[in-house]
């Protein structure tokens, strides 16, 4: 498609470095005197910002994240613009919005005929890093490929093998699966083998994936990566994604004696008949998973220290979206409420980032260009990337800050459909389509979004509509052509 950029086109535009690589000069020679920082990007699934101990909102135990936050930049206003799995992954990998990259909903076989999967000619973040000389690794959940279409009426298939080649987007070390929730008995496709190369494991998946990430970082046996190249590892941990009960008892025991009321403390949690029946039986396991992920993340941090490369490595902890956990009577995600939209974003780089809390509103497509900045690759951001490089703000607080972030949900194959909204530092607004009420919340005065101002503040509604449409115009969202029709 015309607005994708493939590798050949990018290399033609990439200047001296790209031209050198195109004619066969290796990345090792190019970077002999300019060793770039490594990257460790960890993103568990369905982990909301509020579920980190130091935030003091959910009663969780996350000692490693609490300490990590003091060493880097914490962004309390990071958002998942389309808070569901595959769209987040496609936006972060391509730097493009769903209408452009084509992933408008979660990838499964019922949507493959609508081209709802990551295109093999997309120039992804991993492609850019590979072309800059990085050895790249991906572990865990991928969920960006479309399984073969199933006939109408048959159950959709979610998990799929991604074969070696262009669909893996220059990832050198592959230890992954498509979309499966077998937390205690996970399986993975590894290396360059075929579909029959699947390995089955009997171990809690976050722990096993941390084991593999640690072996990769240490380069056990010398066969995980080229030690002369910087590395970039993406670790996609499925928990705390449902089902919540498959979690080791040692993490449940951290919450021994805690009642449901001790754990579901957010004022917007619906109880009784209006509450979600799944939440009381899920919240302890959800928090146990969160604590387990915290421990495994800490093991990776310890490995960087032990290998003497912690200061030379950019480490990110974030998530694809949150979890409502009976907030407003809902479970899951894919809504504009804070528990779904607002995600953790912590980044540490001792050699290039001033540790602090910053109110930067980082959107999902911004991740790709923003990571390239501190890696010294800001001049290699492709023209097709729609996200904005916010690395100067993260580095030292300087630079342009956005004042709004779009929210969207798109029906597969219909990029102008679905709801739209906007989040600012103070307000959250969702447009009211025909037969649907608008939502407007003052997140400063009403942080749990329990008082809908849409019918009470017409002047403010008008202002927020203008701000939403300005943001949608900036990103050229086709929704504006139909106003959500």
DSSP state of 79: B
DSSP, collapsed to helix, strand or coil, labels residue 41 as: strand
For residue 13, the model assigns a pLDDT of 39
Is the distance from CB of 200 to CB of 187 less than 8 angstroms? yes
Which residues in 321-372 belong to E strands, given as ranges? 345-348, 356-357
10 Å Cβ neighbour count for 476? 11
10 Å Cβ neighbour count for 188? 21
For residue 435, the model assigns a pLDDT of 61
For residue 32, the model assigns a pLDDT of 37
- To which H or E segment does residue 289 belong? helix 279-306
Q: Which two tokens stand for residue 163?
A: 């074969």
CA distances from 264 to 34, 247, 259, 437, 446 (A): 50, 19, 9, 27, 18
Query: pLDDT truncated to tens, each residue of the chain (485 aa)?
Result: 334 445 444 443 343 334 333 323 334 333 433 689 999 999 999 999 999 999 999 999 999 999 999 999 999 999 999 999 999 999 999 999 999 999 999 999 999 999 999 999 999 999 999 999 999 999 999 999 999 999 888 999 999 999 999 999 999 999 999 999 999 999 999 999 999 989 999 999 999 999 999 999 999 888 899 999 999 999 999 999 999 999 999 999 999 999 999 999 999 998 876 667 889 999 999 999 999 999 999 999 999 999 999 999 999 999 999 999 999 999 999 999 999 999 999 999 999 999 999 999 999 999 999 999 999 999 999 999 999 999 999 999 999 999 999 999 999 999 999 999 999 999 999 998 766 789 999 999 999 999 999 999 999 999 999 999 999 999 999 999 876 55
For residue 14, the model assigns a pLDDT of 45
For residue 11, the model assigns a pLDDT of 44
For 94-143, the DSSP string reads HS--HHHHS--S---TTTGGGT-S--TT---HHHHHHHTT-EEEEEEE--
10 Å Cβ neighbour count for 184? 14
Is the distance from CB of 84 to CB of 111 less than 8 angstroms? no
For residue 28, the model assigns a pLDDT of 39
- To which H or E segment does residue 187 belong? strand 187-190
For residue 289, the model assigns a pLDDT of 98
Measure the N-to-C terminal CA separation of the chain; round to a whole number of Å.
25
What's the whole-model pTM score? 0.92
């Amino acid at each position: 498609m015309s607005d994708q950029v493939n590798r050949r086109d990018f290399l033609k535009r990439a200047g001296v470095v790209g031209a050198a690589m195109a004619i066969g000069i290796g990345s090792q020679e190019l970077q002999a005197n300019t060793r770039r920082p490594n990257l460790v990007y960890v993103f568990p699934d369905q982990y909301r910002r509020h579920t980190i101990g130091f935030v003091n909102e959910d009663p969780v135990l996350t000692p490693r994240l609490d300490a990590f936050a003091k060493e880097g930049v914490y962004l309390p206003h990071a958002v998942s613009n389309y808070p569901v799995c595959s769209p987040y992954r496609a936006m972060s990998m391509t730097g493009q919005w769903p209408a452009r990259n084509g992933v408008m909903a979660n990838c499964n076989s019922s949507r493959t005929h609508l081209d709802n999967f990551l295109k093999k000619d997309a120039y992804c973040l991993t492609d850019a890093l590979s072309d800059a000389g990085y050895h790249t690794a991906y572990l865990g959940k991928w969920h960006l490929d479309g399984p073969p279409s199933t006939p109408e009426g048959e159950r959709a298939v979610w998990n799929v093998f991604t074969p070696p080649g262009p669909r893996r987007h220059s990832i050198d070390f592959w230890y992954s699966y498509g979309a499966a929730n077998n937390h205690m008995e996970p399986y993975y496709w590894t290396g360059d083998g075929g579909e029959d190369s699947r390995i089955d494991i009997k171990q809690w998946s976050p722990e096993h994936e941390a084991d593999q990430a640690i072996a990769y970082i240490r380069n056990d046996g010398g066969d995980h990566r080229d030690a002369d190249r910087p590395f970039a590892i993406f670790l996609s941990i499925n928990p705390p994604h449902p089902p919540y009960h498959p979690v080791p008892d040692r993490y449940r025991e951290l919450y021994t004696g805690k009642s449901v009321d001790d754990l579901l403390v957010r004022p917007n949690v619906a109880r009784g008949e209006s509450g979600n029946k799944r939440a009381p039986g899920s919240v302890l396991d959800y928090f146990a998973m969160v604590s387990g992920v915290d421990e495994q993340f800490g093991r990776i941090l310890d490995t960087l220290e032990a290998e003497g490369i912690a200061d030379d490595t950019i480490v990110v902890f974030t998530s694809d979206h949150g979890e409502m956990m009976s907030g407003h009577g809902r479970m899951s995600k894919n809504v504009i409420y804070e528990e779904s939209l607002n995600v953790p974003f912590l980044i540490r780089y001792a050699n290039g980032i001033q540790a602090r809390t910053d109110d930067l509103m980082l959107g999902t497509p911004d991740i790709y260009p923003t990571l390239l900045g501190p890696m010294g690759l800001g001049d290699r951001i492709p023209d097709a990337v729609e996200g904005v490089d916010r690395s100067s703000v993260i580095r030292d607080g300087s630079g342009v800050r956005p004042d709004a972030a779009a929210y969207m949900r798109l029906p597969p194959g219909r990029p102008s459909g679905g709801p739209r909204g906007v989040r600012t530092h103070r307000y959250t607004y969702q447009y009211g389509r025909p037969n649907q009420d608008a939502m407007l919340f003052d997140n400063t005065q009403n942080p749990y979004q329990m008082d809908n101002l849409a019918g009470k503040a017409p002047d403010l509604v008008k202002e927020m509509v203008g701000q939403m449409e300005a943001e949608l115009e900036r990103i050229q969202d086709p929704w504006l052509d139909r106003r959500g029709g």
